[in-house]
Structure 1
Amino acid sequence: YADSGWGVYAVSNSSWAGYFQGNVNVTGTLSKSGGSFKIDHPLDPEGKYLSHSFVESPDMMNIYNGNVRTDEDGYAVIELPDYFEALNRDFRYQLTVIGQFAQAIVAEEIVDRHFVIRTNLSMVKVSWQVTGIRHDPWADAHRIPVVEDKPAEEQGTYLVPDVYDQPESMSLVARVKGQASID
């Protein structure tokens, strides 16, 4: 617990600054320089790791997707989760026809958590994706500023100075360590 500054502060130059095995909960915004998952490789779990990077956006975006086959009249109704419209706004659609040449359109936009796909041929397999920008109360109250000026006390510092060919003394951590007893 901290009234100001950091509640937890950890630095390591050679290993993990923090390591958690189990679930971690953050009620608030998680800020990071990068992100990924790292798992035992499913084809060689004893010999390799498999890593993927996060997909990121300046928006608080949710992604929903699936595959569907249109009916004999060329229609398919996509049903989204019951919370979809309460959680999302500014819907965007992507459709891709699979296995044949055909046209596909969004015939009806999302209303009451459903939208309709139409193809010019019957029985067409379509891969669909819908994205939405979060607009739940927490998201609306905590939008992430995409670009922001550094506070005066952080001006002239870097989060990761070495990637800019700058010395460690130019790091925000070095400045903070010089101002407080954190060792």
Structure 2
Amino acid sequence: MVTHGGGSFGIGILADGTAAAVVATSPGVAGVFTGNVDVRGTLTKTDNRFKIDHPADPENRYLAHSTVESPEMKNFYDGVVSLDEHGGATVELPDWFEPLNETYRYQLTPIGAPAPNLHVSRKLADRHFTIAGGVPRAEVCWQITGVRHDAWARTHPLVVEENKKPEERGYYLHPEVQGQPAERSLGALQHKQFSRP
């Protein structure tokens, strides 16, 4: 079922189905959303980027960035901390950090001068980790990554490699980059299946 129109919830298109409820294929842009998009499930895509008006020339240019990709559900956090008179510091993290993350990895970079003895002196516990061995009063850039272990991540683990379904074999997400004709696209297959009476 596909319903068009605003309705009392302010939804432009409401689609419901056991297979693909909406299939859009276009050599240009298959869909344009102006406003918020709420995805209550897994969003699977070939590319991962944002595009904004260029901060230095918003009238004439765009700026695009790619987001970080990983075979883990990984979160990145960073900051800058000033070391105390002993060359150490404590980095405090929000109360939601440990319930959300596990398997921590640390990176430290001194600013202004080498600090060969700079290190994480105490691993993350009770929302903080400590740094030692730096130059007194120096600044240090820190980064910590964690792998998600919240309830959603545990019940919906990332499957890094998977076999295509039998009906999808021989079809491609982007056949043109594989040297295949457009009719071998998964989108064309789905459109054909969706269009059947």
Q: Tell me which interval the TM-score lies in, with the shorter structure as reference length.
A: over 0.9
Superposed CA offset, 1:142-169 (max 9, x none): 1121111101111111011001110011
Superposed CA offset, 1:96-140 (max 9, x none): 111012131000000001000012431121100000000000011
How far apart, in 2, do the equivalents of 1:159 and 1:2 lie? Answer: 23
- Structure 2 contact 100–148 (Cα < 8 Å) conserved: yes
**Structure 2: 5+ residue stretches without partners:** 1-14
Aligned AA (1:21):
T
How far apart, in 1, do the equivalents of 2:32 and 2:192 lie? Answer: 26
Aligned AA (2:115):
A
Deviation of the 1:39 alpha carbon: 0.9
- Structure 1 contact 70–119 (Cα < 8 Å) conserved: no
TM-score (norm 1): 0.94
Q: Which residue of structure 2 aligns with residue 67 of structure 1?
A: 80
Deviation of the 1:25 alpha carbon: 1.4
**Structure 1: 5+ residue stretches without partners:** none
Query: Given the superposition, is the C-alpha separation of residues 58 and 133 from structure 1 closer, same or farther in structure 2, using an over 3 Å criterion?
Result: same
In the TM superposition, 1:152-163 aligns within 5 A as: 152-163=166-177
| Aligned residue pairs, count | 182
Q: Does 1:91 align with 2:104?
A: yes
Secondary structure of the structure 2 residue equivalent to 1:106: strand
How far apart, in 2, do the equivalents of 1:123 and 1:178 lie? Answer: 66
Q: Out of 2, 22, 40, which is 1:27 matched to?
A: 40
Aligned AA (1:64):
Y
Q: Which residue of structure 2 aligns with residue 122 of structure 1?
A: 136
In the TM superposition, 1:31-70 aligns within 5 A as: 31-70=44-83
TM-score (norm 2): 0.88
Which 10-residue stretch deviates more, 2-11 or 143-152? 2-11
How far apart, in 2, do the equivalents of 1:59 and 1:116 lie? Answer: 25
Give the root-mean-square deviation of aligned CA atoms: 1.5
How far apart, in 1, do the equivalents of 2:48 and 2:93 lie? Answer: 28
How far apart, in 1, do the equivalents of 2:193 and 2:167 lie? Answer: 11
Secondary structure of the structure 2 residue equivalent to 1:68: strand
